[in-house]
Chain A
Amino acid sequence: MPSAPLLLSQAFNGLALGTLLALVASGLTIILGTLGVLNFAHGALFMLGAYAMYVVTAQTGSYFLGILVGAVFMLVVGVVLERGLVRLFYGRPHEDQILVTFGAGIVIVEAVRAIFGANTQSVPTPSWGQGIVQLGFLFYPTYRLELIGIVAALLFALYLILYRTSIGLVVRAGIEDARMVGILGINVRRAFLLVFAIGVVAAGVSGMLYAPIVSVEPDMGSSFLVEAFVVIVIGGLGSYPGAVLGGLIAGEIISITSAFNAAYSEVMLYAVMALLLVLRPQGLFGSEGRV
């Protein structure tokens, strides 16, 4: 049995990982919920965000400029992807949507590899994130601690957009019945474009924020993609609260398990998913019959 301080610090690590997974998965789930498209390129877009951060910080040395320019860049990428590719697939079978976003993911990853090479890049931690903080029960890297707050603020901002604005109302109505929203005279296409772009920016910003603490390389996104899938299966497909809670649960499962036996930390996550599929197939916040 691991000691209490170890468990406490692992629980804290789980919170840090969980908020990241929540942010990645929320981008995936709002696209899925509104557009009905499972975006297999989501992991590649996460990676693209990290590379955008790398390029801007390498040129300017400014963390904030990196986030700002990176977010604008991801917005453009999202708009181009939706207009140029994803839009053509709204009327086609799910399998085709999966194939085309999967292919787009390959193209993005290989294009990055062609430009930057396969080597690992690093992004510096910002000056205000240097050092270590004494939390009483554990020492924690300052930037990771700040990151929990930043991601929580972003998740809250996303919540405000989805639940407190009229565009959010359209998006949530679109999750229920996109056709009906169209019949009511609301421009669903524009809402779809916006949602897709927000989802892409969420993936990219996650990559940017985490670039200083992970190694940046072309294949870094694929493991996040799979974990984001697990998160939204746990939380319920297309549910924003489900993605946030699912992300936190997944983060804790991985971290707490590794306090007991690190070899099982990832496996346990999938075991929990399998169990949930048997006991509650629609996920924690999903509604029966949607899938």
Chain B
Amino acid sequence: MRARFWPEAAMVAVLLLAPLVLPRLGFSYDLLQRILDWGLIGLGFDLLFGATGLLSFGQAAFFGTGGFVAAYLLLHHVLSSVWLALALGTLAAGLFGLAVGWLAVRRIGIYFAMITLAFGQMAYFLENSPLAAYTGGENGLPGVPVPMLGSYKIAAGMPMYWALAVIFLAGFVLARRILHSPFGAVLRAIKGNTARTGMTGHSVPAYKLAVFVIAALYAGLAGGLLGVFQSYMPPEAFSLDTSGQLVVQTVIGGVGTLVGPLLGATIWLWLRDNLQQVPHIGALWKLILGLIFVALVVMLKRGIAGEIRWAFSRRRLASAEAGVPEEAGEAAVMPPEAAALPMQAPLVVARADAPALRAIGLSKFYGGLHAVEGVSFDVRTGSIHAVIGPNGAGKSTLFKMLTDEVSPTSGDVLLFGQRVTGLGPTHTAQLGIGKSNQLNQLFLDLTVTENLRIAALARARGTFRADLWRAADSIAPVERQVAAAMDTVGLTHRADVPVHVLPYGEKRRLEIGIALAIGPNVLLLDEPLAGMSPAERVATRALVREIGRTRTLVVVEHDMDAIFELAERITVLYEGRLLADGTPEEIQRNQAVQDAYLGGLHEHEPA
């Protein structure tokens, strides 16, 4: 990701040219100011919805809060500096965002939209009656003063436009930095695959709350500016229509483009100002916009800015995808001779005296169903340990308890003697347990490099860090880790290919690569060979053996040839219970295993 400044340069040009060109097309200075204000609240909203996928219908709450706090402070002469009042209004909106976000971000899509809408409406009622003594109720607050720049008064019209243009530009630059920062990379990962983001060791609720507060801060600043440039703070700032208008403008302009809300606002506000007065069609502009909005959503269109960007990026993508075959051929599946680049050292210093992983009496009951019951085993540090058993034996449930994705009904998991049960998958990942899943859990819209970077960032940055200003690819150890993991799983030639175009076998290897890139001490592989062609199986077996040289592996697999070739120790599960635990030779000789599992293999499992 080389620094590209042309969007910033283009934005400067647009802001400079707008007051020269647009007034001829029916844009007054007042209209331009309102468009910039909507664009500003839209920057925060697009980080929230476009980048992170969180659809809020409550941005009006923060828009209004910022506006009314700033206006009140100025009109009651608590403060004389407009700038300071704007800052405090923004801060108040951020604090309100923190409270609402705390309740909303732990919930998925449907709940999130409902709760934000409801709190938006609550803010509207608060403004309207209980706080009417401070906010003017239905009358709003008239007479908000304009800001000073030294002794220069920023008057309405042209000076105010420039002030707003500078503030919008600063907001735009910041939003772009955030989007391309490590923090922004995690936001995009959350949108792509929330569960996997958490499993690689990022605290998803913390990131969601942070971006929610950022969006509230943008909204609060825009609200404060609304009162300033209109010299009036209207109660409608709090209304449901404000939140809804923002959503419509963003979708029409282009979700996830940052400039989309600005473009959408340009269209919405221009139509309203210029068509309102025209007889017969005056009332229809909103109906037409509504129909366009529905059509865009139905046809999966990206909005104006989104379609433009897509048209440009399609050519670039086409060349990147040109070399990707439908099915991985022989050449593509050859394993690396050896990992040429060293992986970063494991997270926890391995202690020779404790087993890497120890399961003690693990049980999981779903009502009357005993999925796993009283399973104990040790995984020796540096070994390749296999867990086998027929379908339904409880292998996947056991694996999920090892990473604490599923909390055990009883029992404990110890990592180098330290209890990890109850910490949740995010913290177990941070402590050094990585897992590749039976079904691929990838970030399909991101490239191979970006997928691996998400995992490596978790290792380097911990569960949460608000590094909003630096570039996502500027952390040297992270980039080394990405390169090493990519090399190990043999995907270096696909570095910049979006993952959704990769053939299945390569996706499978990337699934392992992501688990590897967090730098785990103990790597759990859930059916790494599932669904692979014979050639891919050979390559992946070599890959597993290679990885096993440097770290402890636990593998669930149905491919018995692979298991008996790779594993130093095998744990056998049968109907949720531990049937046997020993070396491959002991397991092969074990009569109970032969009767219950190997004997039954041909009956129960045609594969």
Q: Which A residues are in CB contact (< 8 Å) with B80?
A: none
Q: How far is the CB of B204 from chain A (nearest CB, A)?
A: 16
A3–B247 Cα distance when bound, in Å, is 46
Q: Does A111 contact B (CB under 8 A)?
A: yes
Considering the complex, give the chain B residue whose CB is closest to the CB of A233.
Answer: B114
Chain A CB count within 10 A is highest, among B106, B114, B126, for B114
Q: Mark A274-290, 1 if CB is under 8 A from B, else 0.
A: 10011001000000000
Q: Does B414 contact A (CB under 8 A)?
A: no
Q: Does B248 contact A (CB under 8 A)?
A: yes
Q: Mark A116-137, 1 if CB is under 8 A from B, else 0.
A: 0110000000000000000000
A93–B49 Cα distance when bound, in Å, is 13
Which chain A residues numbered 233 to 276 have a C-beta less than 8 Å away from chain B? 233, 237, 261-264, 266-267, 270-271, 273-274
A117–B244 Cα distance when bound, in Å, is 21
Which chain B residues numbered 289 to 330 have a C-beta less than 8 Å away from chain A? 289-291, 293-294, 297-298
A237–B117 Cα distance when bound, in Å, is 16
Given that A95-B109, A264-B130, A291-B110 are contacting pairs, would A233 and B283 also be in contact in the complex, using a CB cutoff of 8 Å? no
Check B115–A233 contact: CB distance below 8 A. yes
Check B130–A103 contact: CB distance below 8 A. no
Q: Does A104 contact B (CB under 8 A)?
A: yes
Which chain B residues numbered 115 to 138 have a C-beta less than 8 Å away from chain A? 115, 117-119, 121-122, 125-126, 129-130, 132
Considering the complex, give the chain B residue whose CB is closest to the CB of A117.
Answer: B283
Check A110–B286 contact: CB distance below 8 A. yes
- Residue in A93, A102, A226 whose beta carbon sits within 8 Å of that of B121 in the complex: A226
Q: Does B284 contact A (CB under 8 A)?
A: yes
Given that A103-B293, A226-B240 are contacting pairs, would A291 and B111 also be in contact in the complex, using a CB cutoff of 8 Å? yes
| A residues contacting the other copy or chain, number (CB 8 A) | 45
Q: How far is the CB of A125 from chain B (nearest CB, A)?
A: 29
Number of A-B contacts (CB under 8 A): 115
Q: Which B residues are in CB contact (< 8 Å) with A270?
A: 118-119, 121-122, 125
Q: Which B residues are in CB contact (< 8 Å) with A179?
A: none
Check B129–A262 contact: CB distance below 8 A. yes
Q: How far is the CB of B88 from chain A (nearest CB, A)?
A: 23
Q: Does A184 contact B (CB under 8 A)?
A: no
Q: Does B113 contact A (CB under 8 A)?
A: yes
Q: Which B residues are in CB contact (< 8 Å) with A214?
A: none
Check B290–A103 contact: CB distance below 8 A. yes
Q: Does A96 contact B (CB under 8 A)?
A: yes
Given that A263-B132, A266-B125 are contacting pairs, would A88 and B240 also be in contact in the complex, using a CB cutoff of 8 Å? no
Given that A267-B126, A270-B125 are contacting pairs, would A98 and B113 also be in contact in the complex, using a CB cutoff of 8 Å? yes
Check B240–A32 contact: CB distance below 8 A. no
Check A110–B108 contact: CB distance below 8 A. no
Q: Does A4 contact B (CB under 8 A)?
A: no
Q: Does B93 contact A (CB under 8 A)?
A: no
Q: Which A residues are in CB contact (< 8 Å) with B113?
A: 38, 94-95, 98
A38–B244 Cα distance when bound, in Å, is 16
A233–B55 Cα distance when bound, in Å, is 17
Check B291–A107 contact: CB distance below 8 A. yes
Considering the complex, give the chain B residue whose CB is closest to the CB of A111.
Answer: B287
Check A99–B111 contact: CB distance below 8 A. no
Considering the complex, give the chain A residue whose CB is closest to the CB of B299.
Answer: A88
| B residues contacting the other copy or chain, number (CB 8 A) | 39
Chain B CB count within 10 A is highest, among A95, A273, A291, for A95
Which chain A residues numbered 78 to 123 have a C-beta less than 8 Å away from chain B? 85, 88, 93-96, 98-100, 102-104, 106-107, 110-111, 113-114, 117-118
Considering the complex, give the chain B residue whose CB is closest to the CB of A277.
Answer: B103
Check B118–A263 contact: CB distance below 8 A. no
A94–B103 Cα distance when bound, in Å, is 19
Q: Which B residues are in CB contact (< 8 Å) with A117?
A: 283
Q: Which A residues are in CB contact (< 8 Å) with B290?
A: 103, 106-107, 110
Check B248–A106 contact: CB distance below 8 A. yes
Q: Does B251 contact A (CB under 8 A)?
A: yes
Q: Does A143 contact B (CB under 8 A)?
A: no
A278–B49 Cα distance when bound, in Å, is 24
Q: How far is the CB of A111 from chain B (nearest CB, A)?
A: 6
Chain B CB count within 10 A is highest, among A32, A85, A99, A281, for A99
Q: Does B53 contact A (CB under 8 A)?
A: yes
Chain A CB count within 10 A is highest, among B53, B113, B240, B251, for B113
A221–B347 Cα distance when bound, in Å, is 56
Q: How far is the CB of A281 from chain B (nearest CB, A)?
A: 7
Q: Can you list 29 pairs linking A and B with CB atoms under 8 Å apart?
A: A38-B113, A88-B298, A93-B109, A94-B110, A96-B297, A98-B113, A99-B251, A99-B293, A100-B298, A102-B244, A103-B293, A106-B248, A106-B290, A107-B287, A113-B283, A114-B287, A222-B240, A226-B117, A226-B121, A226-B240, A230-B118, A267-B125, A267-B129, A271-B122, A273-B118, A274-B119, A281-B107, A291-B107, A291-B108
Give me the 5 closest cross-chain CB pairs, A-B, nearest first: A94-B109, A270-B122, A110-B287, A263-B129, A106-B290
Additional A-B contacts beyond A93-B53, A98-B110 (20; CB < 8 A): A36-B110, A98-B55, A98-B113, A102-B244, A102-B247, A103-B293, A103-B294, A106-B289, A107-B294, A114-B283, A114-B287, A117-B283, A118-B283, A222-B240, A226-B121, A229-B114, A263-B129, A270-B125, A271-B122, A274-B119
Write the residues of chain B forming the contact surface with A, with a CB cutoff of 8 angstroms. Answer: 49, 53, 55, 103, 106-111, 113-115, 117-119, 121-122, 125-126, 129-130, 132, 240, 244, 247-248, 251, 283-284, 286-287, 289-291, 293-294, 297-298
